[in-house]
Amino acid sequence: MRIIAGIAKGTPLTVPRGANIRPTSDRVRAAIFSSLGSRVVGADVLDLFAGSGALGLEAASRGARSVMFIERAPAALRAIEENVCRFRKNRGAVCEFTLLRGDVLVKLAGLARHGRAFSLMFADPPYGEPAAPLLGKVKQADLLTDSGTFVFESAKREPLTIEPPWNVAHEAVYGDTRVRFLTLA
């Protein structure tokens, strides 16, 4: 895996190994960022279930202002640290990076108490994990800006009900992966 575009194009990424870790492929990342276009530039990004950090680092390479990763798996945490170090070493400190260790839902509650909001969010939870608690927590905590986009990945065949106040602005399938671009009404 590598960063596919922007100032860090071609930078290799360490990928953690593990049963529940499934990195977003280069092809899917390319499609996601093509759909996002200029919304990435200057964005404050939250990468949930970050894995290797590939989505957040791709956003940084394409001009995001800040990226916060949330992850709990030790192998993934090490990979994110390595990848951020490699990004900084090769491309300079053009983006502010923060790594939060722990359970996503618990960390989201903490962010809400500090009044953080993000214009771009990514979630690639382990397949089979229910989406409703995550979507509910993000809305309840007011973590997505009014014009923000929440990019949610799931298995192609995994049922996922999106209920108001969430809207599906765009949806696409790439192989076994379904990507939904969500906004708030």
Element counts in the chain: helices (H) and strands (E) = 5, 7
Cα 58 to Cα 183: distance, rounded to the nearest angstrom: 21
pTM of the entire structure?
Answer: 0.94
Candidates 29, 43, 35; CA nearest to 148 is 43
Q: Could you tell me which residues come within 8 angstroms of residue 34 by beta carbon, excluding any fewer than 6 positions away?
A: none
> Could you tell me if 105 and 150 are in contact, meaning their C-beta atoms sit under 8 angstroms apart?
no
> Could you tell me if 155 and 177 are in contact, meaning their C-beta atoms sit under 8 angstroms apart?
yes
- pLDDT tier, 118 (very low <50, low <70, confident <90, very high otherwise): very high
> Could you tell me if 57 and 24 are in contact, meaning their C-beta atoms sit under 8 angstroms apart?
no
Specify which of 63-72, 91-100, 155-164 reaches the highest per-range mean pLDDT.
Answer: 63-72
Cα 113 to Cα 91: distance, rounded to the nearest angstrom: 33
pLDDT tens figures, 17-55:
765 677 788 899 999 999 999 999 999 999 999 999 999
- The fold of the 41-184 domain, in CATH, is Rossmann fold (3.40.50)
pLDDT score for 130: 79
